[in-house]
Amino acid sequence: MASNSTNGDMTPLQNHVAFFDRNKDGVIYPWETYQGFRAIGCDVVLSAVSALLINGFLGPKTRLQGRLPSPLLPINVSNIQKGKHGSDSGVYDSEGRFVPGKFEEIFEKHSKSKTNALTSQELSEMLRANRVPKDYKGWVASWTEWKILYFLCKDKDGLLHKETIRAAYDGSLFVKMEEERASSQKKA
């Protein structure tokens, strides 16, 4: 069972996004999102587009109460649960806590070729199964999140492993990816 707090009093959803808070001030600006994507190995275009879309979508939703919307599109880590979208897996509840049963359900329902991994086709089937009717923004958000995760983390056989997905949910995956990338760049 995954913990509902891995970094102080933060929820798993807050830990998931905190990687992108590069200066650790509780606010993620588009340039920090960009830097985070670059740190995990994404190219310039994907990093820039992701930063604009993610901050454009989440910034206004996570703004602190009583504050006017900012043109800088800051994401407030403390309010990240307000940015949850529909058509998702349900692994994070409405407060950003990890729901172990929903996590296991991904594999019970959709993992057919290997018990603890998803193929690209199985991932697509899961995304279709999670769609809420007419929730087009949620469909796009879920598709984008999962396809980027698959693209970056699938193994040589095209499998996205359960432990990799769990690490994405608890926030440790991005730290590991950055460390591995930094280590391989030092060797080169």
The tokens for 152 are: 């970056």
Contact at 8 Å (CB) between 54 and 34? no
Q: Last residue of a domain, which of 68, 83, 98?
A: 83
Residue 156 lies in a domain: yes
Q: Last residue of a domain, which of 58, 83, 108?
A: 83
Contact at 8 Å (CB) between 76 and 62? yes
d(CA 166, CA 158): 17
Which residue shows structure tokens 């997905």? 165
**Predicted confidence (pLDDT) at residue 87 exceeds the cutoff of 80:** yes
Q: What is the pLDDT of residues 101-154, one digit of tens each?
A: 999 999 999 999 988 999 999 999 999 999 999 999 999 999 999 999 999 999
Residue 3 lies in a domain: no
**Model confidence band, residue 7 (pLDDT cutoffs 50, 70, 90):** low
Q: Both 79 and 147 in a single domain?
A: no
Cα-based angle 160, 77, 4 (whole degrees, multiple of 5): 60
Q: Both 90 and 134 in a single domain?
A: yes
The whole domain housing 24 covers 9-83
pLDDT of the residue at 147: 96
Q: What is the pLDDT of residues 11-61, one digit of tens each?
A: 999 999 999 999 999 999 999 999 999 999 999 999 999 999 999 999 999
